[in-house]
């Protein structure tokens, strides 16, 4: 007779209930969420008193859709001061609306006014100008799994308390092979000139997370060793030379609370233990239809920024995970005779693979025509401009 261990039974019951609840939750999710017809306006930007102001307008898109972003084009966007002055922003083709520096008065409040191409009108609340203090330092800490970029700042006036940061990363990338030759006019090759270099490029990334900090609970307005981004030790970003430009914004309490909620809704919904989705209430409203949600929070204030450079030589001997799996260099000659083919068959390899840009020549292979030619590889292995720019940024040291 088999004796049942009753001490384990409560554990089985708990696991059964938990699994049942998990599957039940999955069944209750409706696909209509990912295919909702809503097309809400999204407003992102900061009104800069003494610098270029850029306001980006987009529309929400379905999770199941084929596009990640839908710019709002053809809108009329202006900034209105509390004393009645107006400034019109110029549009570009990416949904950005730009105002050149006009020295806005820090003694006024400002709001954003938007009229979309379909005639709908939107406006933000008037917001005060809240200027950011200077950044003290940006440094990095070497950790077991990578590199952590930290920021330090403080407000001597003890009046900021709420901070937000975003950043732009720039870093050197190399192709796997250094091409010394190039195809010309689809019928010949020539040595590659320096201005068409495709071995070294500069790639860039922008913030993908919301970085916030607060000193509200401290006796002094000091932010110390605030993490901005962690870069894995295997990242190509730090394989050669890396730079990061961090911008710092001072926030009002309302703006800070909005970004905290936005961060929870967009970055911390990975498990049942994370914060559950909450309704975002920004400071932008649809005047034409007050019940229509608008996503975004407009702020105003000067932004401070600082850049650092990090060389791979100053880091541990980490091995980068480079994107060249499957790359190989092949030798292509002008006329290649297929061995033991009956009748004899030949392939014009240089013409068929290099002159057609299927492959990029790397080095010349010495030989007597038609057995001379080039080593060559597919573009992704040779041409770094497929992932970056071969023009050195003006700020690069």
What are 301-310's pLDDT values in tens digits? 999 999 999 9
Does residue 205 sit in the same domain as residue 228? yes
- Per-residue confidence at 64, pLDDT binned at 50, 70, 90? low
Residue 26 placed within a domain:
no
Whether residues 206 and 231 fall in one domain: yes
Single residue among 128, 146, 169 that ends a domain in this structure: 128
pTM: 0.84
- Note the pLDDT of residue 351: 97
Question: Helix, strand, coil proportions of the chain in percent (round to 5)?
Answer: 15, 40, 45
234 and 144 both lie in a single domain: yes
The domain in which residue 201 lies consists of 135-314
Same domain? 124 vs 140: no
Give me the mean pLDDT over the 376-387 stretch. Answer: 98
At 351 the three-state DSSP class reads: helix
Do 288 and 202 have their domain in common? yes
CATH number of the domain encompassing residue 49: 2.60.40.10
Whether residue 305 is found in the same domain as residue 159: yes
Structure confidence at residue 275 as a pLDDT band (50, 70, 90)? low
pLDDT for residue 347 is more than 80:
yes
In DSSP terms, 323 is beta-bridged to none
Number of domains in the chain: 3
Residue 236 near residue 320 (C-beta atoms within 8 A): yes
Which one of 128, 154, 188 terminates a domain?
128
* Boundary residue ending a domain (279, 314, 349): 314
Calpha distance 294→282 (Å, rounded): 7
What's the rounded Cα separation, in Å, for the pair 276 and 25? 14
The per-residue DSSP string of 310-332 comes to: EEGGGS--PPP--S-TT---EEE
């Amino acid at each position: 007779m088999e004796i049942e261990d009753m001490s384990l039974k409560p554990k089985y019951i708990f696991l059964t209930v938990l699994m049942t609840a998990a599957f039940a939750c999955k069944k209750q999710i409706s696909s209509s969420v990912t295919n909702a017809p809503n097309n809400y306006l999204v407003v992102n930007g900061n009104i800069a008193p003494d610098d270029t102001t850029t306001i980006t307008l987009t529309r929400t898109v379905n999770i199941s859709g084929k596009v990640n972003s839908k710019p709002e084009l053809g809108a009329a966007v202006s900034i209105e001061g509390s004393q009645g002055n107006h400034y019109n922003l110029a549009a570009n083709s990416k949904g950005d609306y730009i105002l050149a520096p006009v020295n806005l008065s820090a003694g006024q409040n400002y709001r954003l006014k938007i009229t979309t191409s379909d005639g709908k009108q939107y406006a933000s609340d008037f917001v005060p100008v809240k200027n950011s203090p200077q950044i003290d330092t940006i440094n990095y800490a070497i950790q077991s799994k990578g590199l952590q970029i930290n920021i330090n700042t403080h407000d001597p006036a003890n009046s900021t308390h709420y901070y937000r940061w975003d950043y732009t990363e720039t870093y050197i990338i190399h192709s796997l092979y250094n091409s010394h030759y190039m195809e010309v006019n689809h019928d010949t090759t020539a040595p590659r000139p320096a201005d068409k270099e495709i071995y070294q490029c500069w790639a860039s990334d922008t913030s993908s997370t919301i970085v916030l900090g607060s000193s509200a609970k401290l006796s002094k307005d000091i932010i110390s060793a605030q993490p901005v981004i962690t870069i894995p030790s295997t990242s190509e970003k730090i394989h050669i030379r890396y730079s990061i430009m961090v911008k710092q914004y001072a926030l009002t309490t309302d703006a800070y609370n909005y970004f905290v909620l936005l961060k929870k809704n967009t970055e911390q919904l990975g498990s049942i233990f994370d914060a559950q989705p909450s309704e975002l209430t920004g400071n932008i409203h649809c005047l034409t239809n007050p019940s229509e949600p608008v996503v975004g929070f407009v702020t105003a204030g000067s932004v401070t920024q600082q850049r650092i450079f990090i060389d791979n030589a100053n880091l541990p001997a980490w091995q980068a995970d480079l994107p060249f799996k499957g790359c190989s260099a092949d030798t292509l000659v002008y006329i290649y005779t297929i061995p033991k083919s009956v009748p004899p068959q030949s392939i014009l390899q240089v013409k068929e693979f290099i002159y057609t840009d299927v492959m990029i020549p790397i080095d010349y292979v010495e030989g007597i025509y038609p057995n001379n030619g080039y080593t060559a590889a597919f573009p992704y292995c040779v041409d770094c401009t497929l992932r970056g720019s071969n023009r050195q940024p003006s700020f690069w040291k």
